[in-house]
């Protein structure tokens, strides 16, 4: 019995990228139908933060590059932090309620796996859509911020953009995995209140984590958001430290990989019994 289960498990985790791509029309149709309702949260809200925190609050903060991790102004300091935080918020919005809806409310995933698609391919397409959403949000954000002179080099901006895509997977896969293991939506408020909001505030987006007590600083440095913020900031400010950057990338890749395995396994458990 256990053997049969394992054999079948191999089938559901088989992954054919071309077959997964067949879901493109679904996600495109869904996006075309819903993008307008996400305009405010995706494109306007981050700019409000920029104005309020970066420009207005930042006006009171004297830019000392040695205290602002190499940024010449608070706006330049906070911009990469907000970019990273915006990516995280977009991701978590996409892999909590929508994923649960497709599992238990609308049960759309059940329709999908009745076709040649496998569970891995379903997860891949959904995460692919999340990456696409982060790409649009990040591209607009970077384009709007470019004229403010907060970026050192074009290459740095492009690399920072790519980092947001990696970060999208690193956030999406584990949270997706968590969603597949929740019975109902009440768990989401814990994710938001205990995970998202503290990370948003204390992971180095708004102030250098070195301002924190030592133990809090280490706690902040353990969060995925800090790795994204620090890496993004290095790239746009041109203050890249090779070995630190490598640690960030390895951390995010590892998080994405572990999240992926758990996400596929979690969805398998919900769809295939």
Residue 273 binds to another protein (criterion: CB under 8 A): yes
Tell me how many residues contact another protein (CB under 8 A).
35
**Under rule CB under 8 A, residue 29 binds another protein:** yes
Residue whose C-alpha is closest to residue 178's, from 241, 249, 92, 61: 92
Specify whether the CB–CB gap between 272 and 186 falls below 8 A: no
217 close to 210: Cβ distance less than 8 angstroms: yes
Contacting residues for 46 by C-beta, under 8 A, at least 6 apart? 82, 83, 86, 137, 141
Question: Site map for another protein, 118-137, x if CB under 8 A?
Answer: x-------------------
In whole angstroms, give the CA distance from residue 9 to residue 13: 6
Q: Among residues 39, 52, 108, 194, which is the contact residue for another protein, using CB under 8 A?
A: 108
Q: Does 155 bind another protein (CB under 8 A)?
A: no
Establish if 17 lies at the interface with another protein (CB under 8 A).
no
From residue 34 to residue 53, what is the string marking binding to another protein with x (rule CB under 8 A)? x-------------------
| 12 belongs to the binding site for another protein (CB under 8 A) | yes
Angle (CA) 67-68-72 rounded to 5° is 115
By the rule CB under 8 A, 59 interacts with another protein: no
Residues that bind another protein (CB under 8 A): 1, 4-5, 7-12, 14, 16, 19, 22-23, 25-26, 29-30, 33-34, 106-108, 110-118, 271-273
């Amino acid at each position: 019995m256990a053997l049969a289960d394992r054999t079948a498990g191999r089938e559901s985790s088989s992954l054919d990228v071309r077959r997964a791509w067949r879901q493109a029309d679904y996600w495109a149709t869904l996006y075309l139908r819903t993008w307008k309702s996400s305009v405010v949260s995706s494109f306007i809200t981050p700019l409000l933060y920029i104005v309020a925190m970066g420009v207005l609050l930042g006006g009171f903060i004297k830019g000392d590059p040695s205290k602002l991790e190499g940024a010449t102004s608070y706006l330049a300091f906070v911009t990469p932090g907000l970019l990273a935080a915006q990516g995280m918020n977009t991701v978590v919005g996409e892999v909590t309620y929508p994923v649960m809806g497709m599992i238990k409310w609308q049960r759309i995933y059940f329709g999908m796996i009745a076709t040649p698609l496998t569970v891995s391919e379903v997860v891949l397409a959904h995460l692919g859509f999340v990456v696409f959403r982060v790409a649009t949000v990040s591209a607009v954000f970077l384009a709007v911020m470019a004229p403010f002179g907060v970026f050192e080099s074009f290459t740095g901006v492009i690399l920072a953009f790519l980092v947001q895509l990696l970060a999208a997977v690193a956030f999406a896969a584990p949270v997706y995995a968590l969603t597949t293991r929740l019975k109902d939506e009440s768990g989401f408020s814990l994710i938001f209140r205990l995970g998202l909001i503290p990370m948003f505030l204390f992971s180095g987006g708004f102030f250098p984590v070195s301002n924190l007590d030592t133990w809090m600083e280490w706690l902040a440095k353990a969060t995925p958001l800090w790795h994204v913020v620090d890496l993004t900031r290095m790239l746009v400010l041109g203050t890249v430290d090779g070995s630190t950057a490598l640690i960030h990338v390895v951390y995010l890749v590892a998080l994405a990989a572990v999240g992926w395995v758990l996400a596929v396994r979690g969805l398998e458990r919900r769809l295939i019994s």
